[in-house]
Structures are given as C-alpha cells and as structure tokens.
Amino acid sequence: MARTARSGRGTVGRRTVAAVVAAGICLGLAGGTARADTAGAALTGGAHAGAGGAAPVVTRAGLDPALVAGAGAELGFDEQEAENAVTDGTVIGPDRNAYTLPAEASGRRAVTLEPGQYVEFTLPSAANAITVRYSIPDAPGGGGITAPLDVTAGARGRTPAVKKTLTLTSRYSWLYNQYPFSNDPGAGLLHDDWWITECGCVPAATSPAPVIARPFRPSHFYDEQRLALGRTYRAGDTVRLTVPVRTGAVATTVDVLDSQLVAPPRIVPVAANVLAFGADPTGRRDSAAALDRAIAFARRAHLTVYVPPGTYQVNRHIVVDDVTIEGAGNWYTVFRGRQITLDTPADDGSVHTGVGFYGRPASEGGSRNVRLSGFTIEGDVRERIDTDQVNGVGGALSDSVIEGLHVHHTKVGMWFDGPMANLRITGNVITDQIADGLNFHTGVVDSVVRNNFVRNSGDDALALWSEKSANARNTVDHNTVQSPVLANGIAVYGGADTTVSHNLVADPVREGSALHVGSRFGSEPFTGHLRITGNTTVRAGTYELNWNIGLGALWFYALERDIDADVRVTGDTYLDSTYNAVMLVADWPVKDLYAINGVHFKDIRVDGTGTSVVSARAAGSASFENVDARNVGAVGINNCGAFNFPATGSEFALDDLGGNDGGGTTGPWFGAWQLPNTLTCDDRPPVVAPPAPSTW
C-alpha cells in the first residue's frame, strides 16, 4: 500500500513515510525458497506449447474457469496464456521465486521469443481487439527501450487479413533495489543500514562489507498494450505475435493475450461536447483548458460532458464536482498525459503533476455527484515518489460513480482521501501501476468496489486503509486481481463492518499475499464485523524476505494492536497455495503484547498447500467448521503460538466445530491430537509442491 501524499513500503514490520493508448480510433473501421509449481496441469483439453492447430485454451487466472467459477470480475474478455498456445519459442517457468520473469507472469509461466519466433493464439470467440502482456529488456543503464512486435490476424492457413506492428516499450517497467526503488540497474543499496536477506546482515554494519550483486532485486518486468484489429474476427481465427528479424527487435516474453469484442463507440448527442470547447482529439494540443470550459458549461446547463473518440493531451489534474464526464468507451476515448516537473513543490509535497481526474480535497468539503465513465487515463509515471499526486483518479468523491475506465501507467490507479461516502467503483480495468491499484484512505464509508480487474500493481492492488479515521461499511466484491508485484491482492487495514466477497486473486509475487488483514500502518482498530466470504485465491503466498518465512494465501498480522473484531471467513477457496493457506502472525517485538482472537472459519476448501493449512505464529484463537483440505504438504496445523513454548501448550487455541476433513502427507489436517493447542511448531518447514488443483 502506497501512501499517495506521503508514504512508502519498508519492511513487513514497518511503514516508512515515505497505458498505452488504444491503437486506432474506431475498432470496426480503420485502424529459492519458493517452489516450482504445476500451473496449467489442471486445464481441461486444449493445446500445449508447440501443438499445432490445437483448440484455444481459455483460462481465468491461469486455470480452467470451472475451478474459479463464481469469483472475480466479468468484463467480457477471454484470457489465453502464451504457454498454452502454438509457439516455436521457449516456455519459461514455472517459478515462484521473486525477481524472476516467470514469478511475475500470470500462471507463473510465459513464452520467450527470439527474433523470427512466434506464438499463435486461436480466438475462442469473435473479437476485434486484443491486449498483449509482455516483457522486453531494460536499457543497459536503465530507462527502457522500444522494440517491434508484429501482429497478424486472420483465418488459419490463409493470407492474414490484418498485419500490424506494436511498438513495445520497457520505459514503464524494470524497477530495482529497495523501497522506494530505482530505475538505475547499477545503483548501490538505497538503504545500506537495512537488514537484507541476501547477506543475512546490515551491510553498513558488517565488516568486511558484503558484495551485493547488481542489479539488486530487479522487478516489475511486465507491461501491456492494447490493439484494435480494425475488423471483427470469428471464433477459430488466429492471432500470431512474431518478433521480427529486423533492426530493433529483441527477445520478447509474451505472457497473456486477452481478446474481446468491443462494442461500437457510445454517442451522447445532447451533451456538452468537448470539441465545441476547443479540445483536440488528435492529441497534438493540450486539451485541459477545453475540458475545464466544458465542465463549467455542463454544470450551468445541467448537461453531461461528452468526450468523443480521440486521444486528448492532458498534463495536469482535471478537478471534478457535480458533473458527469462520459467518453465513447475506454477503447475509443483516451486522456494521455506527460508527467510534468513542478517549478516548486505543491502544498501536498508533490514535485510532479500529470493527467488525473480529482475531486476536491476533503479539507475543502470534497466533491459530490460525480460520474466518470467510458474512457482511458494513460499516464507517464516511471518512478515511485510517494509525495506525488500523479494518480488516475483522486481526491474525495461522495455520492459518485466511476465505471468503465481503463487506467494505465499512473502511480496509483485510484486513491481517495476521506472523509467521504457512497462511492461506487465498477467495471474498471487498472493495470501497470507503480504503486497501488486502488486505495480507500481515511474515513471512506458506505462505498463499493465491484467487478474491477487489476493486474501488475506495484503495491496492494485493492486496499482499505483506516489511517487517522476509520473506514466503515465498505464492500469489495467480485473483483479480479492478478500478479501484484509487491504486497497484497486485497488488504484491509482496520475499520468497521467491512465485506470482502467473491474476489479472485492470483499470483502475488513478494512481501504480501492474496488476502490480508493487518493492524499496521497506523490504522484504526478493527471494530464491528469483518466478512471474508466466497473468495478464491490461486498460487498465493509469497516468501517474506525480512522474516525468511512463507506467508499464507490469507494472512492476519497483529503489529500495532490486537485483532479482535467479529471476523468470519466463510466459503473461501484456496488453490495451490505456495506455503500455507491461512497464517495468523504477530511481529516478534510485540508477540507478547498483541493477539488475534476469535476468528471463525467455515465452509472452506483448501486444494494444495506447500506446507500447512494453518500456520499460527501469534497468541489468540480461532474456530473451524467444515474446512475441507487435500494435498496438504506438511502437518495440517503448524502451531508455534507466541514462541514462548509453555508447558501448557501453544498460546494459540483452535476450536473444532465439526466437519473438518481431509489432509495430506501427514494424515488428517485437523487431527484431534493437535487440539486445542498442541505445539507442532516447525519454524520453516520444507515445501512440498502439491498437484495442480482439480474439480472438487
């Protein structure tokens, strides 16, 4: 979780204060400790790499869609993993070790193409647009490069109906080093006074000084681009991606192709059309002032602001209040901006500005009755500076709606500073962020985040952070999160009466996991209830470098206070967890001060854990009812409690409410001999890779 105004991510136990435009205007017209895994083995039918002419393999989070049914967003595109397509390239992975290309890939595998090689996808349904997730190398000194990727589409075996070239870039990827990270692969440690795993030491306090390899901790390898194909292709037609043999071509890793049938552009005939106020749809001239004029007129005339298809240059915030701004659809209407260095820092500490739609600050009363719909925000953020307000959407927005946006290459996709109430965020795509995907920060209440897709965030993908003032009565429902490079898929930091339901979270990479409940970062206490219901996690649980342990797919962390609200985890499914399915942990310096009490688990399914089902590393208690587990790699309950090892047993007690079945390599996972608080502590158990998930 990144603080937009002043924040950062340091070690687990501490908080340091610290998109590419759619190609074509009209789609229908011109235009080490982790383990290797078994991802993909559970797919039903279809092709594997190199299998010519095979049927398409459509996945969700790299799995057979049947395994994750009922969870996640439905936004109308088909996901195909490159490793399941036809290719003469090299399949890389699987691998879950951070700082590697496979670890950050969807499904933990991808395909690397050398010049002259291709990967070919068969469309599973009609499509006129694609999104390609890829990685190309950084420049030797950092800052990125560009490289071509040829795209051909048409019926198999016939002359392609379309051939286009994507200009790929690595200018928005490849970060290095410790928080807040660097674009320089050759830089020395940013914090040589921090303990690091690589030497098991504090480098500045170690003699002789350790030799630290450079580049240090490379990450954030992937980016994605959208391409309008110019016509509609039928199911069974093919899309081939080829690295050409020509100047500028480089080895290119292709992760995923998403294909979709995009509807024609929306037209709003009775509206304040921005073209009438001087906006430039070619992007050559700055359109910010024209937008301001259109908004002012629309408010007086009680009209919608309509933004027709085009690319509009906007290099600063557009302040919105009591207005609807509607584009033609996020494949047609694009706001693109450059990051601008301010002459003097702003009052909030920002040293840059850039394209973004902002409500008024809460200190000025915030904004109300705002609706943002149907456009892309394409930023230009290449480094993480947490004082910068360079987010796609921000400020305080009450009684408002954000729907159908595509937010790309900003710092945080959407960051809201309350107090504020009744915001609805639905049907958005947020990708390739330097920090969070979305954050409700400080006193956000009665709001909903539903049916959104977030991929490749640089910090928590979806976060609810109750700093200074508690968030309350918020719902995070039916969202899909894939490959958060740092931290968690969905994180709740304090607050009251929160619901996290029916989300799909896959492939977190480091220093976090899929679902997180934490009393940390100065958050207010958990009060009332917390409902974690019907979520599905896939290949979750990362290796925490600062602790040298693996985290659970769902993890509770008591750092600054007890977690003792009415917490109920019901109906979740944890698939192919790298380590344990559930972890409850307190930081070592406070392990005898804070506890995690009274968490209730019911109707849970666990299919595959590298270690245990439950890892208890704190004092406290939990109850379990109808928790079924299979393919468990270690003792079902790894109970260390608060690590005091009293003769009376662990400080963490488990209550059996019945129906807890299944197990793995050591027998029943919830054996009577482990209850209520038998010490079974293995501080760092070996990891046993389970088979791939299958139908229950």
Alpha helices, DSSP H only, in 218-327?
Answer: 288-301
Average pLDDT score over residue span 266-273: 97
Closest CA to 259 of 126, 144, 137, 351: 126
User: What does the pLDDT look like over 286-327, one tens digit per residue?
Assistant: 999 999 999 999 999 999 999 999 999 999 999 999 999 999
What average pLDDT does the structure give for the chain?
92
pLDDT of residue 47: 38
- Decide if 581 contacts 616 (C-beta within 8 A): no
Residue 686 has pLDDT above 70, yes or no: yes
CB atoms within 10 A of CB 602: 17
User: What does the pLDDT look like over 382-434, one tens digit per residue?
Assistant: 999 999 999 999 999 999 999 999 999 999 999 999 999 999 999 999 999 99
Element (H, E) at 293: helix 288-301
User: What does the pLDDT look like over 145-196, one tens digit per residue?
Assistant: 999 999 999 987 666 677 999 999 999 999 999 999 999 999 999 999 999 9
Residue 344 has pLDDT above 90, yes or no: yes
Average pLDDT score over residue span 648-665: 95
At residue 164, what is the residue type?
K
pLDDT of residue 53: 57
- Decide if 47 contacts 12 (C-beta within 8 A): no
Residue 223 has pLDDT above 90, yes or no: yes
Residues with Cβ within 8 Å of residue 396, at least 6 apart in sequence: 359, 360, 361, 362, 366, 367, 416, 417, 418, 419, 420
Residue 42 has pLDDT above 50, yes or no: no
- Decide if 62 contacts 244 (C-beta within 8 A): no
Residue 41 has pLDDT above 70, yes or no: no
Length, in residues, of the chain:
696
Average pLDDT score over residue span 478-503: 98
pLDDT of residue 665: 80
pLDDT of residue 427: 98
pLDDT of residue 155: 82
| Residue whose entry in the numeric block shows the structure tokens 């080093």 | 177
Average pLDDT score over residue span 652-678: 95
pLDDT of residue 159: 65
pLDDT band for position 666 (cuts 50, 70, 90): confident
Average pLDDT score over residue span 355-372: 98
Average pLDDT score over residue span 518-545: 97
- Decide if 362 contacts 394 (C-beta within 8 A): no
